[in-house]
Structure 1
Amino acid sequence: MKKVFIPIFLFLFIFISCNKKEISEEKSWEEFSKTVNEIKKKQGINTENKSEIQFPKNENTKIPEEFLGTYIPMNFELFLKSEHSYTKALYQTWDLYTILMLQNDICYSDLHFHDGYAIDNNLISKWKYIKDNENYYIIDEKGRLYKRINTDGSYNGYEFYAEYVLTEIFKDAKHKQNIKLIDGFVYIDDEQFTIVLDMNFLEAENDCIWLTNGEQLFVLKIEGLTAKIYKTESIESHHGIKETDKIYKEIPMFYWNDEKYPDLDISKLNKNDLRLLRNLIYAKHGYQFKSEDLKQIYENFDWYKVNPNFKESSFNEREVLLKDSIINKEK
């Protein structure tokens, strides 16, 4: 498999706590179970069937075979989904193991994807292992929770991690024909990009993700219903890299969802987003756009098909309400 882990520069001394309450080793399995279920509920996962949760004994440092694989911090997943930003999710979980790659008798991690190492067996011996239906979890020596994302615990874990992040970031572009996720890479207009996992010496306070095409570094930011990819430049004062205001690409990051878009708070959308959302209703019904920019955007959706018999009268009640609300907001 191709590796997507890209180490860059020197160690950046940053510590940001995720403010996650630690669990003492003395607490009961019932309390561990409760912790797992509380976190799962935040993600909308059904937790009613608690009898499925199992807690294998860990009497030595040998890792239970069925728990081998690649794990990520549960809080990282929560922050990634809520903030829709790899940068923020990474910094909010800075004091956790960044990644766990469990093999038969050893577990590898990587400090913020800048310094790989094997975890001390004395620490591993204190870990607890949880199986909940088809999901596998680890509670580390400080009571922090990790979720398995792949059964392979080799160095391919870097690729699984990158693919996991990219899938979440680009989930609202999944119906775009010019955006594809393949083997841990994202292809935008047939150009291959790789996510930069190591954030050291990259100014990334409000960024979504950093990307590279193998020659240059870019910053992708989701702004409303679109994502902008900015060019970067070096910072001579401390040998870092920062984004510029020069846009390299701009791509829509939305799709039609009957449950989400009719209830969207349009008061928070800018003028361009309002235009895109209003025309999304027309695109859904096959309107043939005359404007070149709208034509390029909507013709790239895999569901879009021109309807020669298009009529606004085909809009349902919710679509009419949304359209009228947007028009009033645009005035």
Structure 2
Amino acid sequence: MIFSLFSALSFSQTKDTIVHAYMSVQNYEMNPSEIKKTINPKKIDYEGSYHFGESEGESDLEIIFSNNKLYARTEYADWENNTWVGKSDRLPIEYSKHKTVIDKTEYELSISDNEKGLISHYYKNVGEKTHHYIQFNPSNDIEKPQGKYPESSFVKLTLKELTELPKSELKIMRNEIFARNGYIFKSGGKMDTYFSKKIWYKPIKKDNINFSDIEKHNIELILKLE
């Protein structure tokens, strides 16, 4: 990603507006002038894992770019049967005019102290004053699934999305899920020939593969179309 060009965000404080900036949660205040937005970011620039909240309210907004689309999900922990269990929910995401709207919230790609992040804006009227809150959510590297269709191991796909692909590609997408989990294909078969050429493919076992709930969902859905 190239961050060579930036423009300072206009967070000027006026007589009737008070500007606040903070990182992830309001406990971590920032100087608004330290936050800058990228100029004309591309879709792929939004790829990353963005941290929100703290302690029991922590979550990560994860975004990947694949086949000219953005896919987003939120990763968080939930209390189940006296155990903290990791959860993952897909979020709707739209990209337009260098901005993204994720689950009805608009975000802009930005940087602070050489750290990439997303900024969002919130406003609250208190008496005759308007409080403008700027939230900066920093990003970490994301472990993107390998292959042509990483989204099939990242989010639960829909029939509408899958019907856009020919059956030949659906077969590759479905078997790619198996390949990512080290499945050993029939020696000399089409899938064995196809995946053996992929650097990331590491055949490990034939049976007892622990697919994620996301992968199970997508395998079943793809099989219906095939």
TM-score for both structures, normalised by structure 1: 0.29
For the pair shown, which has the larger CA radius of gyration, 1 or 2?
A: 1
TM-score of the superposition, structure 2-length normalised? 0.39
Q: Which has the higher strand share?
A: 2
